[in-house]
């Protein structure tokens, strides 16, 4: 079982004025030409001071070209082009390293999550009650009804993660994880593909971070609409939960 640090993460002061606080949105994208522009537009409609860092994970379609155009138009602040496809975790790490905001949130480019819920995620951090906030698809938020076995798999992975981290999350696999930038940048993240979710959860727990959950809406897409996660990623997530809770050190970079 994961043992948490005796000394919890010490949070530095965030800007006291809501308008001075910058939220960096890290947006990894692989073959999302059909949705990436709408995703960026949705983020830009959020009534917060937002920095968008988009990471093109060596897409084979026109995702990179669209992002370059959006940067020229001033809608995206930074665009990172991965030289080869390395997976979501590697893309997120690249975005975290380039982030300049006070708080970082992950935003997939597939339109499944609603950026208008950023203020709900941000509130516990702004009030200095939390260092990280998870948006749960399994609390009271509205959601599109889709795959039963995906739901079962997510709940099982969350249960196993909870057993090893001693957390009581309802949705460990959620994309919406908003974390203080100083904390997230201090974690020695290494996973690629979809191992990012169990890894960051384990490392936050061991760092003694104050974690909150809030309900969010969720509009999952079908495989015909471009969903990429399948049963193989579920098996990989199982391994990553064991790896990062039982076999991996978690020294926080200071």
Give the pLDDT of the chain (254 residues) as one tens digit per residue. 555 554 567 777 787 676 789 999 999 999 999 999 999 999 999 999 999 999 999 999 999 999 999 999 999 999 999 999 999 999 999 999 999 999 999 999 989 899 999 999 999 999 999 999 999 988 766 655 455 556 777 888 999 999 999 999 999 999 999 999 999 999 999 998 778 999 999 999 999 999 999 999 987 644 344 445 655 666 777 788 888 998 765 444 43
Largest CA distance in the chain: 49
Predicted local distance difference test score (pLDDT) of residue 224: 45
**CATH number assigned to the domain covering 18-219+226-246:** 3.90.550.10
Q: Name the CA dihedral angle for 213, 43, 87, 186, rounded to a multiple of 10 degrees.
A: -60
Q: Which of 40, 111, 42 is nearest to 74 (CA)?
A: 40
Cα distances (angstroms) measured from residue 186 to each of 67, 167, 250: 28, 21, 10
Model pLDDT, residue 6: 47
Burial of 19 (0-12, 13-18, 19+ CB in 10 A): exposed
Write down the residue that tokens 């003694």 correspond to. 208
d(CA 53, CA 76): 7
Per-residue pLDDT at 14: 83
DSSP assignment string, 180-238? EHHHHHHS-----GGGHHHHHHHHHHHTT--EEEEE--B----TTTT----HHHHHHHH
Strands 78-81 and 49-56: parallel
Instruction: Enumerate the β-bridge partners of residue 81.
Output: 56
Q: Is the dihedral of CA 31, 33, 39, 40 positive or negative?
A: positive
Tally of CB atoms within 10 A around 138: 19
Unique residue bearing structure tokens 């026109």? 62
CA dist., res. 185 & res. 84, Å (int):
23
Q: Give residue for tokens 């709900």.
A: 120
pLDDT of residue 149: 58
pLDDT of residue 133: 98
- C-alpha–C-alpha distance, residues 247 and 243, integer Å: 5
User: How many residues are present in the chain?
Assistant: 254
Tell me the Ramachandran region of residue 208: left when phi exceeds 0, alpha when psi lies from -120 to 50, beta otherwise: left
pLDDT computed for residue 218 by the predictor: 87
Cα 79 to its chain centre, rounded Å, is 17
Q: Say how far apart CA 228 and CA 85 lie, in whole Å.
A: 14
Predicted TM-score (pTM) of the model is: 0.87
Q: What confidence score (pLDDT) does residue 100 get?
A: 98
């Amino acid at each position: 079982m994961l043992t948490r640090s005796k000394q919890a993460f010490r949070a530095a002061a965030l800007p006291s004025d809501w308008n001075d606080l910058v939220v960096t949105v890290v947006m990894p994208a692989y073959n999302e030409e059909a949705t990436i522009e709408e995703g960026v537009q949705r983020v830009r409609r959020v009534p917060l001071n937002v920095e968008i860092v988009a990471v093109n994970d060596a897409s084979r379609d026109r995702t990179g070209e669209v992002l370059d155009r959006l940067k020229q138009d001033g809608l995206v602040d930074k665009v990172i082009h991965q030289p080869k496809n390395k997976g979501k975790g590697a893309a997120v790490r690249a975005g975290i390293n380039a982030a300049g905001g006070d708080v970082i949130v992950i935003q997939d480019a597939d339109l499944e999550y609603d950026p208008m819920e950023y203020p709900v995620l941000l509130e516990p951090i702004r009030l200095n009650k939390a260092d990280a906030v998870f948006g749960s698809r399994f609390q009271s938020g509205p959601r599109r009804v889709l795959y039963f076995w995906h739901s079962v798999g997510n709940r099982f992975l969350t249960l196993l993660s909870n057993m090893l981290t001693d957390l009581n999350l309802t949705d460990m696999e959620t994309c919406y994880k908003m974390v203080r930038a100083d904390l997230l940048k201090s974690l020695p993240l290494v996973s690629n593909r979809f191992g990012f979710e169990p890894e960051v959860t384990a490392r936050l727990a061991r760092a003694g971070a104050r974690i909150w959950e809030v309900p969010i809406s969720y509009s999952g897409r079908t495989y015909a609409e471009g969903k990429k996660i399948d049963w193989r990623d579920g098996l990989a997530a199982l391994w990553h939960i064991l790896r990062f809770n039982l076999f991996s050190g978690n020294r926080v970079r200071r």
